[in-house]
Chains A and B, each alone.
Chain A
């Protein structure tokens, strides 16, 4: 391909990785439709008792900030600098080596230089310099310092809600500087003056009230579970149980609410139900803790803690021994790295032990919560499941490592181990795009709304591009993943970039392969598709 052709190709995508002539230090951002989210609605801020509830528009001139907004933000910064080492340290020690620059999916997909992690942070760091460092106070712009103005605040809103907190940049940073931490802080500061987005604040407020992001009340939760039980019966001839709020069960199971209310998550739910039935697990769902995910995390640590509290509270009320968690990304960031600190110690629970295999999950000895992939991998390793992987032969599968399970907890081999046993055709995407170097779906951290679809598609481009590679090379037609946001974000993303690839969960594939004692012969998979294969769709 000649230089010119490359340039033309880039042009079609509208991606130009060459920075503009204008210095980044001049604030100013164009709120172009398709690149930003709607603001947090007044009623939800009110319900959560968050600051400055009002109706406003990011594209509008007047953001209706409180009169002393600047003091609030700077005071908030000062407070956070003294309370969190990572914040100050990451602002201080960056050498602008640029290793992170082309590691961000938003930069790769948009070419906007302020999406380079280093510059995203610099947007906030420049304000830090101006008000909290000697050289910034004296030398000003020469030292890379900027005054905090409304334009700067608007820029923060735009770019810190254009970061999915995926931590990929942190992997490549020689000091481990994590833009996720900076984004979290920036969003907390924006939250102090009421600048938040509705796609975060509405699920959070729903979750606070009903127990889950989707706002499903307990009676509806029950009927949707009954519906799932019916569907399992239809498919397998087996009537499974889905106990809810059952006191004295051994295990509390918590999954992201999308699993029981969205597609293709639904099939993963069916997989869970079949698995628990087959092994005879004494467990319960909870209608109160009916959400594993935590959109509070995308607003502030405090809101994350408020939403997370109900998991331990419910485990205590129901008197379970330990907790099992479903397929979800940021839910596991919270559970693995925050929950015990937020709402522990969970000394009323016991170290998780698989009642089927007797395996002690020592890695969860303090938090007392086990990832379903760890649980299932242990079952398979101990030969407790009868599996027929040929029932997934219509799928050619690749696995997308979700950001948080990979870079937040190191859950890398367990899902692959399960896939190894439940399907016959598995293909990895290129090394640069999997495991700790995995690319975000582009919709994490609360950015999975509809109104920002352009930036979601751009952010998802590197991932989709790797999927396209295995699709063309090996005929991959299913992207398996263990994150509810992935399962919601990928269908439109792949439809756009690489049509012909579906999205599913690990436990959906497990459900297909799982031979349940006494089941009828299955003619379809959990999606109702004939097991004969998806004719015409594979292009091997």
Chain B
């Protein structure tokens, strides 16, 4: 049911853009105002969310330790899974952020026969997630060619590399193919795996549908309904320099693509997509396992009512004396 809500929502949004641009010709609304508003919402929202997390303290030292801690010198400590110095900590976070290390170890458990659990490595989610995120990054970098003049050589390099296995024209980028496949996998996984379907909220499908719409509209523009890239670049440069112009003669598809990108970035700060920033602030991940070496201070620590030794001895003094236990007060 949740997927239906999201599908309907996505269709409504596509229609909105189609009607707004195709029928009502609200080019400046969809081409200038909404993108600006989305960027403003993104920046404000992103900063607000990060500051909100950053402002709340980390009262306790709670890294999730996944390897041998540093103890005796002759026991080999795992500086990545149980980091004891800065280098280890950076490595741990980097491996998690860049290569999804935790998901890499993901496993599936099945009750194979009576009273027998079987564990098997499950790399699909890791692969799907990694493929999606990395191709998204490459696609974003490729898009820099619209916003930078002259186009930096690294962007051209990425672009060439990304199309390297292609001989047909127009080039179908590897990243485009991979991101489509990965998004479809992530979407179908939510639908077909009973457990994942059960936990999925409308927003989980919605994020994927937003991304899918962006990718599909972009691909359609590349392959079938070509947009005038020179005009698009003029528009992008105009937006950047706060002298917006409209890309004339650019079709509806471009506006749908743009609208969904705007939706995606405006939605970003109020959604789970904020995991992008949150991962760096996660106290189970970004603390060293050194809490017996270095004291972690709780900024709001307050005194609590304890049962003092005096109170304790007061209750048991006579009995203690009888059995010869030392007491403070005779």
What's the nearest-Cβ distance from chain A to residue B114, in Å?
A: 3
B274-286 interface bits toward A, Cβ cutoff 8 Å, 1 = contact, 0 = none: 1100110111110
What's the nearest-Cβ distance from chain A to residue B116, in Å?
A: 7
Q: How far is the CA of A142 from the CA of B294 in the complex (A)?
A: 45
Q: How far is the CA of A134 from the CA of B315 in the complex (A)?
A: 54
Given known A-B contacts A414-B72, A436-B67, A218 and B325 have beta carbons under 8 A apart:
yes
List B27-49 residues whose CB lies under 8 Å from chain A: 49
Chain B residue at minimum C-beta to C-beta distance from A21: B198
In the assembled complex, which residues on chain B have CB atoms less than 8 Å from the CB atom of A219? 316, 319-320, 322-323, 325
In the assembled complex, which residues on chain B have CB atoms less than 8 Å from the CB atom of A275? none
Indicate if the CB atoms of A9 and B307 lie closer than 8 Å: no
B270 at the interface (CB under 8 A from A): yes
In the assembled complex, which residues on chain A have CB atoms less than 8 Å from the CB atom of B295? 340-341, 344-345, 366-367
Q: Which one of A172-180, A186-194, A260-268, A513-521 is at the interface?
A: A172-180
B138 at the interface (CB under 8 A from A): no
In the assembled complex, which residues on chain B have CB atoms less than 8 Å from the CB atom of A287? 320, 325
Indicate if the CB atoms of B102 and A172 lie closer than 8 Å: yes
Most B CB atoms within 10 A — which of A89, A211, A461? Answer: A89
Q: How far is the CA of A468 from the CA of B114 in the complex (A)?
A: 12
A84-108 interface bits toward B, Cβ cutoff 8 Å, 1 = contact, 0 = none: 1111111011111111011100001
Q: How far is the CA of A90 from the CA of B279 in the complex (A)?
A: 10
Q: How far is the CA of A108 from the CA of B112 in the complex (A)?
A: 12
In the assembled complex, which residues on chain B have CB atoms less than 8 Å from the CB atom of A309? 304, 306
B224 at the interface (CB under 8 A from A): no
A307-344 interface bits toward B, Cβ cutoff 8 Å, 1 = contact, 0 = none: 00110011001000000000000000001111011101
In the assembled complex, which residues on chain A have CB atoms less than 8 Å from the CB atom of B204? 95-96
Taking chain B's interface residues, is the majority helix, strand, or loop, or is none over half, making it mixed? loop
In the assembled complex, which residues on chain A have CB atoms less than 8 Å from the CB atom of B291? 336-337, 340-341, 367
In the assembled complex, which residues on chain A have CB atoms less than 8 Å from the CB atom of B300? 83
In the assembled complex, which residues on chain B have CB atoms less than 8 Å from the CB atom of A500? none
Indicate if the CB atoms of B289 and A409 lie closer than 8 Å: yes
Q: Which one of B55-63, B147-155, B165-173 is at the interface?
A: B55-63
Interface residues of A, count at CB 8 A: 126
List A277-322 residues whose CB lies under 8 Å from chain B: 287-288, 301-302, 305-306, 309-310, 313-314, 317
List B257-290 residues whose CB lies under 8 Å from chain A: 270-272, 274-275, 278-279, 281-285, 289-290
What's the nearest-Cβ distance from chain B to residue A381, in Å?
A: 6
In the assembled complex, which residues on chain B have CB atoms less than 8 Å from the CB atom of A71? none
Chain A residue at minimum C-beta to C-beta distance from B62: A337
Q: Which one of A33-41, A113-121, A474-482, A485-493 is at the interface?
A: A113-121
Indicate if the CB atoms of A86 and B58 lie closer than 8 Å: yes
Most A CB atoms within 10 A — which of B62, B67, B125, B322? Answer: B62
Chain B residue at minimum C-beta to C-beta distance from A314: B309
Indicate if the CB atoms of A88 and B52 lie closer than 8 Å: yes
Chain B residue at minimum C-beta to C-beta distance from A374: B71
Q: How far is the CA of A247 from the CA of B328 in the complex (A)?
A: 11
In the assembled complex, which residues on chain B have CB atoms less than 8 Å from the CB atom of A99? 102-103, 106, 125
Given known A-B contacts A133-B270, A143-B203, A85 and B117 have beta carbons under 8 A apart:
no
Which of A85, A305, A409 contacts B69 (CB under 8 A)?
Answer: A409
Q: How far is the CA of A113 from the CA of B182 in the complex (A)?
A: 26
Indicate if the CB atoms of B112 and A374 lie closer than 8 Å: no
Q: How far is the CA of A363 from the CA of B73 in the complex (A)?
A: 10
B70 at the interface (CB under 8 A from A): yes
In the assembled complex, which residues on chain A have CB atoms less than 8 Å from the CB atom of B272? 92-96
Which of B68, B70, B278, B298 contacts A92 (CB under 8 A)?
Answer: B278
In the assembled complex, which residues on chain A have CB atoms less than 8 Å from the CB atom of B105? 171-172
B250 at the interface (CB under 8 A from A): no
What's the nearest-Cβ distance from chain A to residue B258, in Å?
A: 23
What's the nearest-Cβ distance from chain A to residue B99, in Å?
A: 10
Given known A-B contacts A88-B53, A176-B282, A209 and B315 have beta carbons under 8 A apart:
yes
Q: Which one of A12-20, A227-235, A531-539 is at the interface?
A: A12-20
Which of A19, A134, A175 contacts B282 (CB under 8 A)?
Answer: A175
Q: How far is the CA of A461 from the CA of B109 in the complex (A)?
A: 13
What's the nearest-Cβ distance from chain A to residue B80, in Å?
A: 12
In the assembled complex, which residues on chain A have CB atoms less than 8 Å from the CB atom of B200? 96
Indicate if the CB atoms of B113 and A1 lie closer than 8 Å: yes
What's the nearest-Cβ distance from chain B to residue A87, in Å?
A: 8
B143 at the interface (CB under 8 A from A): no
A-B contact pairs, 11 of them (CB 8 A): A12-B114, A19-B195, A85-B53, A133-B270, A135-B203, A142-B5, A219-B320, A309-B304, A341-B295, A411-B69, A413-B76
- B-to-A contact residues, CB < 8 Å: 1, 5, 49, 52-54, 56-72, 74-78, 81-82, 96, 100, 102-103, 105-109, 111-117, 119, 125, 129, 193-204, 270-272, 274-275, 278-279, 281-285, 289-298, 300-301, 304-309, 312-313, 315-316, 319-320, 322-326
* 19 further contact pairs, Cβ within 8 A, besides A13-B111, A337-B61: A83-B57, A94-B275, A98-B199, A103-B109, A167-B64, A210-B316, A222-B323, A309-B306, A336-B292, A341-B61, A367-B291, A369-B292, A406-B65, A409-B65, A410-B70, A412-B68, A413-B68, A414-B71, A465-B116
- A-to-B contact residues, CB < 8 Å: 1, 5-6, 8-10, 12-13, 15, 17-19, 23-24, 49, 81-90, 92-99, 101-103, 108, 113, 116, 118-119, 122, 133-135, 142-144, 167, 170-178, 181, 208-211, 217-219, 222-223, 244-247, 287-288, 301-302, 305-306, 309-310, 313-314, 317, 335-338, 340-342, 344-345, 359, 361-367, 369, 374, 377-378, 381, 406-414, 417, 430, 432-433, 435-436, 461-462, 465-466, 468, 497
Those 9 A-B pairs whose CB atoms lie nearest each other, nearest first:
A410-B69, A9-B114, A176-B284, A93-B278, A19-B198, A432-B119, A176-B285, A93-B275, A410-B82
